[in-house]
Amino acid sequence: DGGITQSPKYLFRKEGQNVTLSCEQNLNHDAMYWYRQDPGQGLRLIYYSQIVNDFQKGDIAEGYSVSREKKESFPLTVTSAQKNPTAFYLCASSIGAGGLTEAFFGQGTRLTVV
């Protein structure tokens, strides 16, 4: 079945560690996104990529990094520079710019700093 797969579902990070969240899609979508979700707030955009080998910062990119080496994959690294990384992270994809493009979401990764 087509869709977006995020892994792991739960992730624990020690202080000072970098961790990488995986996001894979088989929808043949050009655009992919990473959002952060905190209680009482809407989704906030971390990074997005409209094509392979290209990505742009969103509203809250500090302390995060991404890569887009393949169309299907858009991993997110939470670095030690991110001071408050405990949150729920959602990956999404869409066909791309133009037209009424709805976003399709993965099931999310809950990251907790221990």
Question: Which residues contribute to the site for another protein (CB under 8 A)?
Answer: 31, 33, 40-45, 48, 50, 56, 58, 88, 90, 92, 94, 96-103, 105-108
Question: What gap in Å lies between CA 45 and CA 57, rounded to an integer?
Answer: 8
Output the smallest distance, CB 12 to another protein, in A.
17
Helix or strand run (H / E) with residue 33: strand 31-37
Output the smallest distance, CB 21 to another protein, in A.
14
Instruction: Please identify, using beta-carbon distances, which residue of 80 and 88 lies nearer to another protein.
Output: 88
The tokens describing 52, both together, are 């392979």
Instruction: Please identify, using beta-carbon distances, which residue of 15 and 102 lies nearer to another protein.
Output: 102
Instruction: Please identify, using beta-carbon distances, which residue of 13 and 31 lies nearer to another protein.
Output: 31
Question: What gap in Å lies between CA 3 and CA 22, rounded to an integer?
Answer: 14
Question: What gap in Å lies between CA 82 and CA 93, rounded to an integer?
Answer: 24
Output the smallest distance, CB 58 to another protein, in A.
7
Question: What gap in Å lies between CA 23 and CA 14, rounded to an integer?
Answer: 22
Output the smallest distance, CB 15 to another protein, in A.
25
